């Protein structure tokens, strides 16, 4: 076998006992396939073939480090989690990748279905996320479709260097806590050209995260793109850019939310070139989110820019910047035109403890900025 052939070896999960008939549990076969290719050298490819439905009833934990320099996964078929009363695993994450470098997942033709409708009626129950990445550096995920997660669809934790592109996430607006993509304690994460419909934040950024870029995101329904909530721990978030994105009939658009009395900071955050369609809170800073904490000086918020917003607000208050008593600093509103989606109504701006400037902004915020 030549070196080229060796490096491009494809491993079909059916060769490890997976049936792909949508009825029998293929969890063990998927795990066996992963354990085999992780121990191989070169750049092996795990194939989940088209026209097949692979049912999983237990958590799939794909962990490294691996001998392989890089690993490819081609998801061409469907992976479907069992419904709640048939689930035999724990309630953490259905498919979990941990401590793997150089992982590349291409989901063209494929789909992951979390069967969330069997979990959602119990809103206060612990429910699993569908897909998790922990300590995976140099990660690439593209053309992946995920639907109906019991809870968050994708979680990214302690990762450095990841590109998510052409991701499609779809869950109903009333599905509880079904965040699209949650990012925590990670840096150099790029999410682009993706559509996210969920019952919670389309993207949420928390923990110690920096250099996060979201470009070309179509969000809706959902709760918008959020920095936070921050402050439960000493959370520090900086260098976040959301660009050329749209919000359609979402609860929020660009949102920063922090706990009263929390600790940490959020700075150098930009939302730019944003299109709004009947968004309830188009631009919102909420430093009194879930007033459950006491003490501490509050999360320090500074160097935040909202620029190039266009569209309609479903709420009279289109811009609502509610900072805590220490104040928010270097807040910039620029080139904004938001009008009411309701004929004859006027949109307004409200700012509390905000230090910054407003230029070419409708509704007018100059009167309430310091």
What secondary structure does DSSP assign to 1-24, as a single string? Answer: --HHHHHT-EEEGGGGT---EEEE
Q: Is 160 a catalytic residue?
A: no
Q: What is the pLDDT of residue 290?
A: 72
Cα distance between residue 78 and residue 173, in whole Å: 23
Q: Residue 337 is part of a domain; what is its CATH number?
A: 2.160.20.10
Convert the pLDDT of each residue in 65-80 to its tens digit. Answer: 999 999 999 999 999 9
Convert the pLDDT of each residue in 242-261 to its tens digit. Answer: 999 999 999 999 999 998 88
Convert the pLDDT of each residue in 291-321 to its tens digit. Answer: 654 555 689 999 999 999 999 999 999 999 9
Structural domain count of the chain:
1
Convert the pLDDT of each residue in 211-242 to its tens digit. Answer: 999 999 999 999 999 999 999 888 999 999 99
What secondary structure does DSSP assign to 46-114, as a single string? Answer: EEE-TT-EEEE-S-EEEE---SSS-EEEEE-SEEEEPPGGG--S-SSEEEEEES-SSEEEE-TT-EEE-
pLDDT score of 166 more than 90:
yes
Cα distance between residue 184 and residue 132, in whole Å: 11
Cα distance between residue 98 and residue 100, in whole Å: 6
Q: Is 200 a catalytic residue?
A: yes
Angle in degrees, CA 306, 152, 224, rounded to 5: 20
Share above pLDDT 90 across residues of the chain, in percent, rounded to a whole number? 88
- Three-class HEC string of 279-334: ECEEEEEECCCCCCCCCCCCCEEEEEEEEEEEEEECCCEEEEEECCCCCEEEEEEE
Q: Which of 254, 257, 255, 259 is nearest to 272 (CA)?
A: 254
Cα distance between residue 332 and residue 272, in whole Å: 11
Q: What is the DSSP letter of 267?
A: E
Q: What is the pLDDT of residue 109?
A: 93
Among the listed residues 200, 201, 235, 286, the single catalytic one is: 200
Sequence-distant (6+) residues with CB within 8 A of 343 are none
| Segment 87-112 mean pLDDT | 97
Tell me the two tokens of residue 144.
């992946």
pLDDT score of 289 more than 50:
yes
Q: What is the pLDDT of residue 368?
A: 65
Q: What is the pLDDT of residue 88?
A: 97
The dihedral over CA atoms of 54, 60, 64, 70, expressed in degrees to the nearest 10, equals 20
In whole angstroms, how large is the CA radius of gyration of the chain? 22
pLDDT score of 283 more than 90:
yes
Confidence of residue 2 (pLDDT cuts 50, 70, 90): very low
Average pLDDT, the chain: 94
Convert the pLDDT of each residue in 5-44 to its tens digit. Answer: 345 699 999 999 999 999 999 999 999 999 999 999 999 9
Q: What is the pLDDT of residue 249?
A: 98
pLDDT score of 3 more than 50:
no
Q: Is 118 helix (H, G, I), strand (E, B) or coil?
A: helix
Q: What's the predicted TM-score (pTM) here?
A: 0.96
Instruction: Give the structural domain span for 293.
Output: 3-368
Among the listed residues 153, 201, 223, 235, the single catalytic one is: 223
Q: What is the pLDDT of residue 344?
A: 87
Q: What is the pLDDT of residue 260?
A: 85
Q: What is the pLDDT of residue 261?
A: 81
pLDDT score of 86 more than 60:
yes
Torsion sign over Cα 191, 192, 195, 200: positive
Q: Which residue has the tokens 């206060």?
A: 124
Distances (CA, A) of 70 to 1, 42, 106: 19, 7, 14
More confident residue, 123 or 59: 59
Residue 132's CB: how many other CB atoms inside 10 A? 22
More confident residue, 199 or 125: 199
Q: Which residue has the tokens 């909530």?
A: 229
Q: Is 159 helix (H, G, I), strand (E, B) or coil?
A: coil
């Amino acid at each position: 076998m030549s070196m080229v052939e060796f490096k491009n070896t494809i491993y079909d999960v059916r060769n490890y006992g997976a049936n792909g008939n949508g009825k029998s549990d293929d969890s063990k076969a998927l795990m066996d396939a992963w354990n085999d290719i992780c121990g191989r050298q070169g750049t092996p490819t795990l194939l989940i073939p088209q026209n097949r439905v692979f049912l999983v009833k237990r958590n799939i934990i794909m962990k490294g480090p691996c001998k392989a320099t890089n690993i490819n996964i081609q998801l061409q078929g469907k992976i479907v989690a069992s419904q709640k009363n048939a689930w035999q695993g724990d309630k953490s994450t259905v498919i979990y990748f941990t401590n793997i470098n150089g992982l590349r997942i291409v989901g063209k033709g494929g789909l992951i279905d979390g069967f969330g409708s069997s979990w959602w009626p119990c809103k206060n129950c612990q429910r699993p996320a569908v897909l998790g990445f922990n300590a995976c550096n140099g990660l690439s995920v593209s053309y992946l479709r995920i639907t109906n997660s019991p809870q968050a669809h994708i979680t990214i934790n302690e990762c450095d260097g990841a590109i998510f592109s052409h991701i499609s996430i779809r869950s109903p607006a009333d599905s509880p806590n079904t965040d699209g993509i949650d990012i925590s304690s990670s840096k150099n994460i790029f999410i682009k050209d993706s559509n996210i419909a969920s019952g919670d934040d389309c993207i949420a950024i928390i923990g110690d995260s920096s250099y996060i870029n979201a470009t070309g995101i179509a969000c809706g329904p959902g709760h918008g793109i959020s920095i936070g909530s921050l402050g439960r721990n000493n959370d520090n978030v900086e260098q976040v850019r959301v660009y050329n994105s749209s919000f359609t009939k979402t609860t929020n658009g660009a949102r920063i939310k922090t706990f009263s009395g929390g600790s940490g900071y959020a700075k150098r955050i930009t939302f730019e070139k944003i299109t709004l369609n009947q968004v309830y809170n188009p631009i919102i800073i909420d430093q009194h989110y879930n007033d459950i904490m006491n003490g501490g000086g509050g999360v320090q918020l500074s160097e935040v820019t909202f620029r190039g917003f266009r569209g309609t607000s479903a709420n009279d208050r289109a811009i609502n910047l509610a900072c805590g008593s220490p104040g928010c600093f270097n807040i910039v509103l620029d080139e904004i035109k938001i009008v009411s989606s309701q004929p004859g109504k006027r949109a307004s701006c409200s700012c509390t403890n905000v230090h910054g400037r407003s230029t070419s902004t409708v509704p007018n915020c100059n009167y309430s900025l310091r």
